[in-house]
A and B are shown apart, each in its own frame.
Chain A
Amino acid sequence: MSGGEGTIVQFDNVGLRYGTEREVLSDVSFALYPGSFYFLTGASGAGKTSLLKLLYLAQRPSRGVIRMFGTDVITLPRQALPAFRRRIGVVFQDFRLVPHLSAFDNVALPLRVSGVPESEIRKPVADMLDWVGLEQRHDARPATLSGGEQQRVAIARAVIGRPEILVADEPTGNVDPDLALKLLRLFEALNRLGTTVVVATHDVHLLKKVPDSLIMRLDRGRLADPTGALRYPPRREVS
């Protein structure tokens, strides 16, 4: 596959296997465009989380080429990966909050990783926690937060550094429908600010909630293209 000009992510014939097992992803090829909103769907075990792991550089593929931000990230030395990871925000399926840190410190973590001075951390983190509706829970440890609150802390942490790509793995899986919609609105707000959003979900009702979204469907490790989102260029311009 060639082309992909103006893409922020491009996968070409990517395959992934763990150990000597059969491939969990096979011949996956697609491109993501800056400022787009994508849903990644598929049944449980279809390979959504594996694909997202490749997207947020937690895993290297067994074969194929992955270009991100115009660079082949497969051949990059591992020392160069952190700079790319800082451009990607991730909402993990299991939140992966640091249990001994408060909600504030969890959200501040990407900024601290980026070396932001402490004096410049307080206000943005407080603003971000307010943004996700946790203004009263700054000092709470994850264990004392409800599932929805943990989810919002995880989202706040993923977007605090204003990533170019936001990857969310089943972000509404543990919350009620009202909160799911609210979280989706948060992603849309971020998307309107220019962030490319990729949301993995098996909830088909969610797909209709974001009218401008593009859908990628995984079926047993292979990618389908119901909206043409994967073409070069995609079927329609995305604002």
Chain B
Amino acid sequence: MSKLPSPLRRNAPRFGGGDRAGIMQQSRLAGPMPWVIGIMMALTVIAAGAGLALRNLAQNARAEIAGGVTLQILEGGPAERARQAEVAVALLSNREDVAEVRRVPDAEIEALLEPWLGAQDVPEEDAIAVPALIDVRLVGPVTPRRLDELRAALAGSVPSARIDAQASWLAPVFDAIRSLQWLTLGLVTLLAATTAAAVWLAARSALGSNRDTVEIIHLLGGTDGQIARLFQRSIGLDAALGGFAGLLLGLATLALLGRQFARLGSGMIAGGSFGLTDWAVLAALPLLGIVLAMLTARLTVLAALRRML
């Protein structure tokens, strides 16, 4: 009989072997966790991507129309309409609070209306009266007070003028975009909650199937923290596998959708494209998923262990 080994260190917070000694029986990949987390992550990436695209789209559109005012000359007589338009352009060009004035050419207006009114191949006096349009860009934001000042300035010499902030035309669109953004945020929150619930179930199931081993570790002096660390590490690995697979799937889906929308050729939709920060946010989602899964697993296991001696 050889001599007994010498006494060894005690009371360390972690397992020797860096928690990698395979103490708990694992069934990674064979189990559903990586797949569940992968699907959840893909959906989260798509929802978050949609939310970011909508935010970018709204921000770009707002920036584009910030300070924008549309002046319409609602005059039936073509000659008088042209005269008032010229006066309005002259008046506005001399104002210090106006950055840019551009009269929209009649040809451009006709081209815009052609799909609805058809080609206006008739003498000017017989054509349907269309307002003259002047695109005005103010210095600084458009406020109701500034609009009133402009109206007052034009009222005398351009009686047929009608002035509207461009933002007011798009207000319902922005409202709809904001609703969709809230929807995507809600979806991301629900998906995170569902992922946490799936992890909770998985952690409880893993704890149940390893109950004997957990009891033995307890009786050998293992702490709740040590045992919880084994489970959270295992679920963290599952979350990493599933999370990055889900990220790839989600990004591929977003790229495909982006190409589809790009074909529409709409300037507004083009404003929804991702910047570097957006890609970074999307890439960080699996990391957040891993943290969420590990935290959920730890809390679940600790809560269950507290009921044991």
Interface residues of A (CB under 8 A from B): 56-60, 78-79, 81-87, 90, 96, 98, 100-101, 105, 108-118, 120-121, 123-124, 127-128, 130-131, 157, 159-162, 185-186, 189-190, 193
Contact of B7 among A56, A59, A108, A162 (CB under 8 A): A162
Residues on the A chain within 8 Å of B11, using CB: 82-83, 86, 114-115
> Which of B20-28, B246-254, B293-301 contacts the other chain?
B20-28
Query: Known contacts being A58-B309, A111-B16, A114-B10, is A101 close to B1, with CB within 8 Å?
Result: no
Among A113, A114, A115, A190, the one with the most B-chain Cβ atoms within 10 Å of its Cβ is A113
Cα-based distance from A127 to B1 in the complex (angstroms):
10
Contact B221 A131 (CB under 8 A): no
A residues within 8 A CB of B221?
Answer: 82-87, 110, 113-114
Q: Are A56 and B219 in contact (CB under 8 A)?
A: yes
Can you name 16 extra interface pairs (CB under 8 A) apart from A112-B16, A127-B5? A60-B309, A85-B221, A86-B221, A87-B10, A109-B23, A112-B23, A113-B226, A114-B12, A114-B221, A115-B13, A116-B9, A123-B5, A160-B5, A162-B4, A186-B1, A189-B4
CB pair A85–B16 under 8 Å, yes or no, is no
- For residue A238, give the distance in angstroms from its CB to the closest CB of chain B: 20
Interchain CB contact under 8 A, A118 and B17:
yes
- Counting CB contacts under 8 A, is B274 at the interface? no
**Segment 1-48 of B: residues with Cβ below 8 Å from A:** 1-18, 21-23, 25
Residues of A within 8 A of B25 (CB): 100
Collect the chain B residues with CB atoms within 8 Å of residue A193's CB. 4
A124: chain B residues at CB < 8 Å are 5-6, 8
Find the B residue at minimum CB distance from A110. B220
Assess whether A98 is in contact with B213, with CB atoms less than 8 Å apart. Answer: yes
Residues of A contacting B213 with CB < 8 Å?
98
Instruction: Judge whether B224 is part of the interface by a CB distance below 8 angstroms.
Output: yes
A216 and B251 alpha carbons, distance in the complex (Å): 71
CB pair B309 A115 closer than 8 Å: no
Residue from A84, A115, A116, A186 having most chain B Cβ neighbours under 10 A: A115
> Given the complex, which residues of B lie within 8 Å of A161, measured CB to CB?
7-8, 10
Residue B128 is within 8 A (CB to CB) of chain A in the complex? no
State the CA gap A84–B223 with chains docked (Å).
11
- The complex places the Cα of A122 from the Cα of B138 at a distance, in Å, of 79
A-facing residues in B112-143 (Cβ within 8 Å): none
Write 7 A-B pairs (CB below 8 A) sorted by A numbering.
A78-B309, A108-B16, A115-B15, A115-B16, A118-B16, A120-B8, A193-B4
Q: Which chain B residues border A159 with CB–CB below 8 Å?
A: 4
Instruction: Give the complex CA separation of A161 and B16 in angstroms.
Output: 13
> Is B218 an interface position by the 8 A CB rule?
yes
The residues of B that contact A115 with a CB separation of less than 8 Å are 9-16
Cβ of B218 to closest chain A Cβ, rounded Å: 7
**Most chain B beta-carbon neighbours within 10 Å: one of A112, A118, A157, A161:** A112
Asked if B220 and A86 make an inter-chain contact with CB atoms under 8 angstroms apart, the answer reads yes
Task: Name which residue of chain B comes closest to A127, CB basis.
Answer: B5
Residues of B within 8 A of A96 (CB): 212, 215-216, 219
B222 at interface (Cβ–Cβ under 8 A)? yes
User: Is B217 interfacial (CB-CB < 8 Å)?
Assistant: yes
Chain B hits for A120, CB < 8 A? 8, 16
